[in-house]
Amino acid sequence: MSKTKTIDRAASSPPANPPARTAGEQPVAAQTVTPTGDGRLRIRHLLGLEGVCREDIERILATAESFKEVLDRPIKKVPPLRGQTIVNLFYEPSTRTRISFELAEKRLSADVVNFTASASSVQKGESLRDTVKNILAMKTDVIVIRHPCPGAPHFLTRATDAIVLNAGDGAHEHPTQGLLDIYTIWERWRDLQGKRVLIVGDVAHSRVARSNIWGLLTMGAEVSICGPATLIPKSFAEIGVEVYTDIDKALDRGVDAINVLRIQRERQSSSFLPSLREYSRLFGIDADRARRLRPGALVMHPGPMNRGVEITSEVADGPASVILDQVTNGLAVRMAVLYLLCGGQAPASREGE
Amino acid sequence: MSVQGARPGVRAIVGGRVIDPASGHDGVADVLIADGCVERVGRGAGAGLPDDTVVHAEGLIVAPGFVDLHVHLREPGREDEETVETGSAAGVRGGFTTVCCMPNTEPAIADQETVRFVVDRARAALGKVHPIGAITKDRKGEALAEIAEMVSAGAVAFSDDGAPVANAGLLRRAMEYARMFDVTLVSHAETPDLSRDGVMHEGVVSAKLGLRGMPAISEEICVARDIALSRLTGCHLHIAHVSTADSVGLVRAAKGDGVRVTAEVTPHHLILTDDLIARDFDPLLKVNPPLRTQRDVDALRQGLLDGTIDCIATDHAPHAEQEKDGEFDLASFGMTGLETALGVCHRALIETGLLDWPLLVDCMTRRAAAVFGLKAGRIEPGADADIVCFDPNGQWQVTVQTLASKSKNSPFLGWTLTGVIRATLVDGCMVYQDWSAGVSSPSESDRTRSSIHRSPVAKSVGSSPRR
């Protein structure tokens, strides 16, 4: 695969320092972060959480925390990605992820271009390779890609020199969602070691589940998955996950955080499920089931929710729910990842912007 | 079929280790050739012949030209990917002097006219090319194709390759019908209801990658069904590209029961596994049947060793660059294999100590030819002088430049393979030769080669007809 251009990152991105913080704040989770010296991550792209080391994840969490503080400022914009061009390449409909990325990029002062393709254009018309070559010919530095085909982001790393961020590739991974879920749990306990996380639902088709599983295992959490046997790959037991098809047994093992996945209506038409009603009765999280979580446990959902199917409104809006916190945290986490991967200047102080 | 002409005719191959599994010959000998046929095999038989008609094969293995029962030559229809001519050139580059091409062309090789077209195109090819006809009209799985007419035009076997006949009743009729002409039906064993939309083997790797899986059982159910129909009808059934451990077991049991079943395995299924896809979703690794697990690879190797699997076939499937350069989900299935087969088999079977050269040569020659009853795969007086000379220790690196096929979709690009084809003869004529050193050939010495070796003919696709 020919490399057609070389981006001189050293020139455009001076070594990054952790984002500046205002005096008087707590240090950024210093006890868990092992600095890598130059403040960079070991990964060059964020393609998935499989294989991402604990130090990188901890650095992202710590950086996200300081960006979350930025989001509470009256002026929410910082300059580290000034002069960098990011293209959001979305081959699938997405509301929150696309908006979250776009907002994170703008908060970091990057120039942002959105490219939205209809699903049908994946099959016909211009190939992904040609589309990306065209976009890069316009001198963009970073590609954020959402694509229905697993591995499409990996293909971009072979076909281009750009930094690639996976915003969801088919059923493979959705690493920033995994990171924001992990951040949400970490924010509560500051340490995931031994914490028990249960993922409920259509794991087979879920990129959110996969990214959560890899990241949580790396962070020392104990991960269980639960759902109908048609939607739970039993081979996941081979990667160190407890597999349940009985929600009561899964809850009996003790749960510190439950991540409820969206169940797609088309699973019913393609015979993975007889009916959503039966799914809801067997696996839906209602108040009775939520009461069996451990004290202080979190209820999470990556959205969008099917209220009354996989989760009842009582639970989704209840005291244990952190579903809206996840959305806020997503913005901070995406700012952190963009900042750490794309370099740039440290965020200026309040006055500087 | 006497052939002298533009291509240099060879009178003898001298000094090589002649391995001919059909006659059991394995030892240094000369092979004497006359009128395109083998005249005699014996020590010193080539003494006294003019040097420019002699191939010096000291240090080389001299074997019957390899026979491949399963290639895709894309003609008619996708001549941008391969043609009968370029596919055959790739074949002789890999030591194959006989290949049988599958009917999934556009239009399909499903009637007498199209069989004739391929047979006619084959006349200009460097090696021998035999078409396999479709079982059903247009390979649609709906109505029987005119099998007898295709047999008379030169089809050597029948298959709806890639689109298995899903209707068991229709396949039963096809077997009963084909039995009349004693021709072989080749089964691409797959149960579409179980593998539809799949792009790789179903297992822990597909689960991790979020790619849709093709379960092993999809193949095994079809193998079991087809064996049962063969048992019922008495039709000879050949299972193409066996890829799972349990398929091997089914074939083994059927052979034990006396069912007329044979089987082939591809070089890539003997060495590559599904976990390689996890590295970077490389579409070059997308193939049907999919790459399976190490357990399957081990069972396939064992099946070849104990004779359950009869032969090696490449399933050479050329594809244009744009069909293999993009999303894994959207890429075409298939990989080229004619030119890498020997080296890959060496690594999978000989380096591992499972097979020795005579047995591997047997799997690529006599045992393959026997499946379709082809008159090929032996070095004995009167046989066509289709012969390959290869350096069993020489090495070469697979690159886009070293491949003769029109398409370059090989998963072995970048690999260094052991086993260098030095010369390929078809009907006694040199159709390919390469005496360069290779990457780092341990056996390379300054053997003197006769002028025949420096003739400008080979290595490129010849323009003059062979016969």
Note whether ipTM > 0.90 here: no
Contact check, Cβ <8 Å, A150/B207: no
Q: Tell me, what's the pLDDT at A38? A: 58
Nearest CA-CA partner of B192 in B314, B272, B288: B288
Place of tokens 């190797």: B301
- Whether residues A119 and A96 fall in one domain: yes
Cross-chain CB nearest to B210 (options A155, A171, A238): A171
Q: Do A166 and A227 sit in the same domain of this protein? A: no
Judgement on whether residues A161 and A235 belong to the same structural domain of the protein: no
- Whether B459 has a pLDDT exceeding 90, the answer reads no
B65 touches chain A (CB under 8 A): no
Contact across the interface for A129 and B326, Cβ inside 8 Å: yes
Strand, coil or helix: A82: coil
Assess whether A120 and A195 both reside in one domain: no
* Average pLDDT estimate for A163-167: 97
Residue pLDDT, tens place only, A182-232: 999 999 999 999 999 999 999 999 999 999 999 999 999 999 999 999 999
Nearest-neighbour CA in chain A from B282: distance (Å): 8
- Whether B413 has its CB under 8 Å from any CB of chain A: the answer is no
Cβ-Cβ contacts under 8 Å, A169 against chain B: 210
Q: How many CA atoms lie within 13 A of A317 on its CB side?
A: 5
Distance (Å) from the alpha carbon of A149 to chain B's nearest alpha carbon:
6
Q: Strand A163-169's sheet: what is its strand order? A: A111-116, A85-90, A142-147, A163-169
Is residue B216 exposed (0-12), middle (13-18) or buried (19+ Cβ within 10 Å)? buried
Task: Give the mean model confidence (pLDDT) for residues B73-93.
Answer: 97
How many structural domains does chain A have? Answer: 2
Same domain, A318 and A342: no
User: What pLDDT, in 10s, does the model give residues B325-334?
Assistant: 999 999 999 9
Q: Count of CB atoms within 10 A of residue B225's CB?
A: 16
Look at phi and psi of residue A28 and say left if phi exceeds 0, alpha if psi is from -120 to 50, else beta: beta
**Among A260, A258, A230, A232, which Cα is nearest to A244's?**
A232
Say if residue A164 is in the same domain as residue A179. no
- Which residue in chain A has the smallest CA separation from B200? A150
How near does any CA of chain A get to the CA of B205, in Å? 9
Contact state of B329 with A207 under an 8 Å Cβ cutoff? no
pTM of the model: 0.89
**Per-residue confidence at B323, pLDDT binned at 50, 70, 90?**
very high
User: Looking at chain B, which residue has its C-alpha nearest residue A231?
Assistant: B207
In a domain, A3, yes or no: no
Q: Is A200 within a domain? A: yes
Is A4 part of any domain?
A: no
Q: How big is the A-B interface in CB pairs under 8 Å?
A: 65
Q: Based on the fold, state whether residues A91 and A227 are members of the same structural domain.
A: no
Q: Is residue A348 pLDDT above 50, yes or no?
A: no
- pLDDT tens digits, A275-314: 999 999 999 999 999 999 999 999 999 999 999 999 999 9
CB contact burial B91-110 (16+ within 10 A = b; e otherwise): bbbbbbbbbbbbbbbeebbb
Measured between beta carbons, which residues in chain A are less than 8 angstroms from residue B324?
A: none
Tokens 């074939």 correspond to: B251
Minimal Cα distance from A48: which residue of B?
A: B209
For residue B328, the chain A residues in CB contact (below 8 A) are 149-151, 155
- Hey, is the C-beta of B372 within 8 angstroms of any chain A C-beta? no
Residue A15, pLDDT > 70, answer no
Q: DSSP letters along A19-39, please?
A: PP--TTSPPSSTTT----SSS
Q: Which of A128, A238, A239 sits opposite B327 (nearest CB)?
A: A128
Within 8 A of B203 by CB-CB distance, chain A residues are 235
Rounded-to-integer distance, Cα A249 and Cα A336, Å: 37
pLDDT for B2 equals 39
Which pair of tokens denotes residue B321? Answer: 């660059």
- Please judge whether B211 and A152 are an interchain contact, meaning their C-beta atoms are less than 8 angstroms apart: no
- Tell me phi and psi for residue A113, to 5 degrees: -125, 135
CB contact under 8 A, A122 and B208: no
Sign of CA dihedral B34, B37, B41, B46: positive
What chain B holds in terms of domains, given with CATH numbers, is 64-372 (3.20.20.140)
Q: What's at A239, amino acid-wise?
A: I
Which residue segment(s) compose the domain that A125 sits in? 9-172+329-352
Distance from the Cα of A336 to chain B's closest Cα (Å) equals 25
A98-122 mean pLDDT = 87
Q: Cβ of A151 and B328 within 8 Å?
A: yes
- Say yes or no: A159 and A274 in one domain: no
- Beta strand pairing call for B416-426 and B429-433: antiparallel
The predicted-structure confidence for B15-48, as pLDDT tens digits, reads as follows 999 999 999 999 999 999 999 999 999 998 888 8
Tokens of A85: 């061009």
Q: Look at residue A35 and tell me whether its pLDDT is greater than 70.
A: no
Chain B positions touching A152 (Cβ under 8 A) are: 327
Of all residues in chain B, the percent with pLDDT exceeding 90 is 88
How far, in Å, are A237, B358, B384 from residue B61 at the CA level?
49, 10, 18
Contacts with B329 from chain A: Cβ below 8 Å: 148-151, 170
Residue A6 has pLDDT above 60, yes or no: no
> Which chain A residues touch B if contact means CB-CB below 8 Å?
50, 122-123, 127-129, 147-152, 154-155, 157-159, 169-173, 204-205, 207, 210, 233, 235-236, 238-239
- For the stretch B430-444, pLDDT in tens is 999 999 866 544 443
Q: Which of A172, A204, A205 sits opposite B209 (nearest CB)?
A: A172
Across the strands, what pairs with B264?
A: B311
Mind telling me how many Å the CA of B208 is from chain A's nearest CA? 7
The CATH number given to whatever domain includes residue A15 is 3.40.50.1370
Q: Is the pLDDT of residue B205 over 70?
A: yes
Query: Which of A122, A123, A150 minimises the CB distance to B209?
Result: A150
3-state secondary structure of B321: helix
Which of A129, A149, A236 shows the shortest C-beta gap to B325?
Answer: A129
Q: Which residues of B are catalytic?
A: 315
- Residue by residue, DSSP assigns B1-37 as ----SSSPB-SEEEEEEEEETTTTEEEEEEEEEETTE
Are the beta carbons of A170 and B281 separated by less than 8 Å?
Answer: no
What secondary structure, in 3-state letters, does B223-264 show? Answer: HHHHHHHHHHHCCCEEECCCCCHHHHHHHHHHHHCCCCEEEE
Q: What is the pLDDT of chain B when averaged over all its residues?
A: 92
* Minimal Cβ distance to A150: which of B204, B281, B325: B281
- Cβ proximity of A203 and A84 under 8 Å: no
Minimum Cα–Cα distance from A149: chain B residue:
B329
Q: Name which of A69-83, A339-353, B332-346 the model is least confident about.
A: A339-353
> Are residues B329 and A238, on separate chains, in Cβ contact within 8 Å?
no
- Tell me whether B210 touches chain A (CB under 8 Å): yes
Instruction: Provide the token pair at B455.
Output: 């003739």
Chain A touched by B47 (CB under 8 Å): no
- In chain B, which residues have their Cβ closer than 8 Å to the Cβ of A154? 280-281
In a domain, A89, yes or no: yes
Q: Residue A204 is which amino acid? A: A
Looking at the fold, whether A138 and A192 belong to one and the same domain comes out as no
> Is the Cβ pair A173, B210 closer than 8 Å?
yes
CB of B276 less than 8 A from some CB of A: no
Residue A254 lies in a domain: yes
Q: Are residues A235 and A99 in the same domain?
A: no
Contact at CB, B327 and A152, closer than 8 angstroms: yes
Residue A299 lies in a domain: yes
> Residue A200's Cα: distance from chain center in Å?
17
Instruction: Give domain status of residue A258, yes or no.
Output: yes
- Using a 10 angstrom Cβ sphere, with 0-12 exposed, 13-18 middle and 19 or more buried, the burial of residue B76 is middle
Between chains, do B327 and A151 touch, taking CB under 8 Å as contact? yes
Whether A223 and A292 map to the same domain: the answer is yes
pLDDT in tens, B402-430: 999 999 999 999 999 999 999 999 999 99
Residue closest to B407 by CA, chosen among B104, B82, B187: B82
User: Do A62 and A183 have their domain in common?
Assistant: no
What pLDDT is attached to residue A129? 84
pLDDT at B415: 97
Compute the distance between CA of residue A172 and CA of residue B127 in angstroms, rounded to an integer.
Answer: 45
| Residue B209 near chain A (CB below 8 Å) | yes
Domain membership of residue A1 (yes or no) is no
